[in-house]
Amino acid sequence: MNFSLLSFFRKGKNNSSGGEGIPAEHRHDREQFQEVLQSFQATRVEDRLQVLDLFLSQERHVTLAELMKIIADRRPELLDQAFLQETMNMFCQFGFAQRRNFDNKDTLYEHLHLGRHHDHLICTKCGMIQEFHDHILEERQLTIAEEFNFHPLQHKTEIYGLCDKCLSHRQPSLPLYMAAAGERVQITNIIGGREAKRRLTGMGLTMGADIEIISSSPSGPLVVVVNGTRLALGIGVAGKVMVTHASKHEKHEKQNSDN
């Protein structure tokens, strides 16, 4: 199995080698950061090391606001947004942290562990982030770049979707206007009389049809793709069409059992 979940390695404290239960990797990072700060004659070295300790104690992706909350709790004397932002910028600049911007949401910071690359699965409903590393995917990406005579320097692979929990809590059926941009749904029912159904059928909106949501805003029309055609639907029409999220896995299982 080449699919390894990095958070599994990151969570355990088994890799600590003595000290106060701090993983050796983090102690090493702390020493290096101290050296870097001293060589640049940075101000407030001790304070910045305390911020690094708190940041490294978080085995997840955190926003600046979340980090401020942790600091307010544990080291209230360091609570100063400008100082914290400057310190986070230093972590990123000197290679102890990296920024992530998933789906244009708030900037997240995560540890940068040397020599270890990972990619992400992101739940668009609850924001859950799962890290993974897959060497076949990594090699395949390099091969693709080579085929295009492209010289890759770095990459970020992000897979958006629903986590298991959100998928199991999804409503069996919801009106089409409640689906979000980027989602793929399937029509489960059409509400309305024969005339409405006839009109919708004429547009390709039939039972079981796959729909991809291009954009949805409360003010404008809902833009969707059905059978390769873009449709702009008003809320009246979008309220008559009931849909469900089509799970890729479920689809695969269905196709396999059909064969």
- Least distance (Å) from Zn ion to the CB of residue 11? 13
Name the one range near Zn ion by CB under 5 A: 83-91, 166-174, 187-195, 222-230: 166-174
**Residue 231 in contact with residue 203, Cβ under 8 Å?**
yes
Name residue, tokens 């629903």: 162
| Size, binding site for Zn ion by CB under 5 A | 10
DSSP assignment, residue 251?
A: H
CA–chain centroid gap for 219, Å, is: 27
Q: How far is the CB of 165 from Zn ion (least distance, A)?
A: 5
Integer Cα distance of 8 and 181 in angstroms? 32
Binding string, residues 9-28; x marks residues near Zn ion by CB under 5 A: --------------------
Give, rounded to a whole angstrom, the gap between the first and last alpha carbons of the chain: 27
> What is the pairing mode between strands 119-123 and 158-161?
parallel
Considering the complex, what minimum distance in angstroms separates the CB of residue 124 from Zn ion? Answer: 8
Our finding on whether 167 is near Zn ion (CB under 5 A) is no
Question: What is the C-alpha separation between 3 and 135, in angstroms, rounded?
Answer: 8
Q: Is 123 in the site for Zn ion (CB under 5 A)?
A: yes
* Shortest distance, position 213 Cβ to Zn ion, whole Å: 18
The nearest distance, CB 4 to Zn ion, in angstroms, is 12
Would you say 90 and 146 are in contact if contact means Cβ atoms under 8 Å apart? no
Q: Which of 33, 71, 84, 110 binds Zn ion (CB under 5 A)?
A: 110
Site string for Zn ion, 209-238 (x = CB under 5 A): ------------------------------
Residue 204 DSSP symbol: T
Residue span binding Zn ion (CB under 5 A) among the ranges 38-46, 71-79, 111-119, 250-258: 111-119
